[in-house]
Structures are given as structure tokens and as C-alpha cells.
Structure 1
Amino acid sequence: MSRFKCYRTNMMTDHPTPTILVLAGKRDGKLDPLAERAGVSHKAVVPIAGRPLIGHVLQTLEAAWDDAKILISIHDPSVLEDVEEVKRLKSAGRLEMTMAQHGIVESVEAAAAQGGFPLLITTGDNVLTTVDALRAVNAAGHDRGADAVLGLARREDIQAAHPDGQRKFYEFKDIAIANCNIYWLRNEKSLQAAEAFRDGGQFIKTPGAIRKAFGLWNLIRFRFRMDTLYGAMDRLSKRFGVRVIAHVLDDGRLAIDVDNERTYRVTEELLAADA
């Protein structure tokens, strides 16, 4: 058995319920191309399979824990007023809005001050996320004594889910992965790990961001695939002063979010196959 399957979570084990943060603001304050095409101001309300992107996400979050507080970080909360899942969760006292800030890290910090820890973070376009994945990342943080957890999927699992699901991957000595837009932070100190995303976190799209976030030596090691995935996590932990771990999930669909026209089409196909 691959050693990347050794952290599978026993869903019967009880773990503290996290506060859940959904990042649904505008990146750099700009109108997203998919939102522009759909004639809406925020990508989170772009329709897919009969409902807004964020509606799919919230339905899954609602099912993951029946007592979790959910925060939505967005620049204009009024755009969500007609989303059925938002209305239902608000009525149940489970959902609050938090104002999106200038950057991702600032938005996370503001939400953490409002909602507390542990904090499970996902995005408003993470339509294919699942209850099992969310619970697994939360459990990994507690069971493995982490300060921060990154939810990841293997290249082969992503390509098996859909050949066009992802085209670029982070490649290490032992594995190629993509992120699943599921992150977990234990406490306020864990926010130190979020510093890597201070300038947006688009590492594959903007390689120079890797050097700025992680340092030249770590960039060199990454470029030449000198580290295993878990070796790289150890290096990041030392850089940020908190224990950062990778949790590799078996479902490749989890690394496919609605990021552009291609992944919109892919996600639409996968949702149709589930119907």
C-alpha cells in the first residue's frame, strides 16, 4: 500500500468541530472572467447545474457538521441574499458574513477574529468538495498534531477523475500533487503558515511567488525536485515556525475547482454524471 494512504480517517472518531470559512471575495478586487460572462459581480454566484457555485459548497458544508459555524468572506454580502443555502443557514443561526479584505491572509485573519479556531478554510468555487474530505482534513489536524494542514490530491487520481481537470502540478521527488482548496488552522499561531499566501498564493501561475513566499533555497530544491512531499512540509514548518502537514486525499475530483472556462466545463460534466 502506498504510504500516502496511511492517513485515511476513521469517520467514526470524534474530533472538535471547526469554524468553517468560505473565501468568496474578488481576487485583487477584480471582476472574474466567469462572473463577467454570467453577468454577476462575484464568481461565487455564477450558476452551474442549476444553482450558484457557492450553493453547492454550502450544501456540503451544512452536511459535514450539524453544529459548525460557517463564515463567508465576501466584498458585497448583498449578492448572496437570494442564495437558498445562505437563507437557510442564516435562519438556522449557523452562517455569518465577514468582510473580505485586501488580500487572502488579511481576510483569513479577520474571519478568525470573528469565528475562532480551529478554522477550516475552503473557497466559494470548490463545488466538488465532499463531506468526507472536509472531515478528513479536520481529523488529520487533530490526529497528527498539526498547526496547519493542506488538503492535496495526486496527479494520477486527478487525471483519473477527468483528463482535463488539472494541467499543472507541484512535482516532488516522490509525488506530483495539486491542492484541493481545503486548509486547516489550529490556532492563532497557525496563522504564521498563512503568510505564504500573503501575495495571493497563485504559485503555479506565478512561479516568482514561490521564491517570495518560501525563500530562494526552497525554490531551488523545489525546481530540482530535491525533496519528498513530506520533506518539503518539514522545511516549510521550520520556515514558518509551526507544524505544517500535507494530507493527501484519494479523490482526484477534489482538486478540480471552477477556476476558468475549462474547469467550469469539467465541473459541469462531473456534476451531470452524479445526477
Structure 2
Amino acid sequence: MSEFMKDAVVTMQEVAGRTLRVATWRLDQPSDHLPVLFFNGIGANIEAVAPLADALTERPFIMFDMPGVGESPDPVLPYNPFTISWTAAQLLDQLGVGDVDVMGISWGGGIAQHFAMQHAGRSRRVVLIATSAGMLMMPGSPKALSKMANPRRYIDTDYMLKNFEALYGDGLGKSAGKGGHMSRLKPPSPRGYMYQLMCMLGWTSAPALPFLLKQETLIMMGDEDAIVPLTNGKFLKMLIPNSELVVMKGGGHLFLLSHEEESMNTIRDFLNRPANTEGKSEAA
């Protein structure tokens, strides 16, 4: 087990007719903070973002492998943002969790938006990382997107490392972090990967955000993200009434890892802030 998973409780849960691999951190420990419900990027298993859960030591943390991803079995039927958000709510009920702070990265940022609107009554704050409003988005570079669509990036480690910069910009620099990140990834199944792609086809949050996403929302973007360009974060900022945008200078798509300390401080400050604080800052 990864060093970042040593404090996690990992179980297989039957939720709303699906079997999901679920990881929780500190859920059985007393805390003054709400748990974080985290939605991962496309094809990424729990281990990929486990360092974030490990770093937020003061908060309970909940994450699960999407069907056909990581160690969750293949989905029998396709799913969409509504059904997977409902499934996540059912999982919270099974875990005895009420309200949460909702967080998502990339593909998971779209699900986080949908969950926060569909289950507004139990979603306190929202953190959107390197994500967009769905189909109404400014696309990334063709070079990056052509490789993004190829599931080989999860199946072939050499291919992923060779094309890392094209996929994720220079966000991780030239450090050994590339190999470290790759060592935590497990390939999704072909069906799991395809169903994740299908899940968001035709979906956009843009028309609903001004009216339904009322929670305080932190949008975090990298200014060198080749997959989800910064313009998408500015678009979300324009659409979400109670939002702020923080830009990670020199950050690619994985600035959460390359700018770990800065990212953790930004997330922690936002989640710990008293409600309705005036004078939010925007980094541009």
C-alpha cells in the first residue's frame, strides 16, 4: 500500500446497485471540520490524489474509484452526472455523513459542480481544480487533447512518461515527481474509461451555475495548463455568483502536486474561512 494510503480505511461498498472501492481518512475521528467529498480526474484511481487527503490532516476525507477505474468493478450500465451524484449521496448516507465540502479536479470538477447543485442542502463549500463548465469550454492544445483521448496513457507507463509534458504542461518541472505520480496510477478498464468519457458527453453546467451554484466556491487554475486552459476558470468565475479565482503561476494540469504547499494553503484557508467573509481576493 502507498505511504499516502497507510492511514486510509479502504472498503468495497455496495452503493445504489454499484460496487465501489471507497477510501476514507479520519472519518472516525472527532473534527471541528466537515468531511471533504472528492471527485477525481478521468481514469484516475484513489491513490493519484491520496497525498491531498493525507495533507489535510484536520479534515475527514472521502473518495472513491469510479466504476471500472482503480479497483472498482466495471460498470454494467452507463452513468451520467445526475446518477453518479445520486450514488455519491447514497454513499455518504451509508457512511453516516451529512454535510460535506465538495472538491473535484478536472473531469471530477464537473461532477463536483453537479453534485453541489443537485445536493445543495448538504454541500457547504465547493473547490474546483483545473476544470471547466463541461462542453462549453475553451479546449486545450490539440497535442495534449489527442493524447488525453488515448487510454494508452494509463495502460503504458513509458507512453505516459514520454508524453507527460504534452498532457500536463510543465507543471511538475523536471523533478522525479513524474515517476512518483505514475507509480500511484492504475490503468482503468477500457469500459470504465469509455463510460467516463460518455458520462460528460453533451453536459454543461453553464446555464445552471448562476442560479443553482450558490455556495462559496474556490476555483483554482494553472496558467500553463495545456488540457484545461486558464480561460475556463475565468468563465466559471463569471458564472458562479459567490466565487473566487486563484491562479497557480507556472502550474500545469497537475499543479495540485507540483505546487503542493501553495495549493494546500489555498484550500485550507478557503475551507477554514468564516462564512460570508467580505473582501475575497482574486489572483489573475
Fold-level similarity (TM above 0.5): no
Structure having the larger proportion of residues in helix: 1
- If asked which structure has higher relative contact order (CA below 8 Å, sep 6+), I would say 1
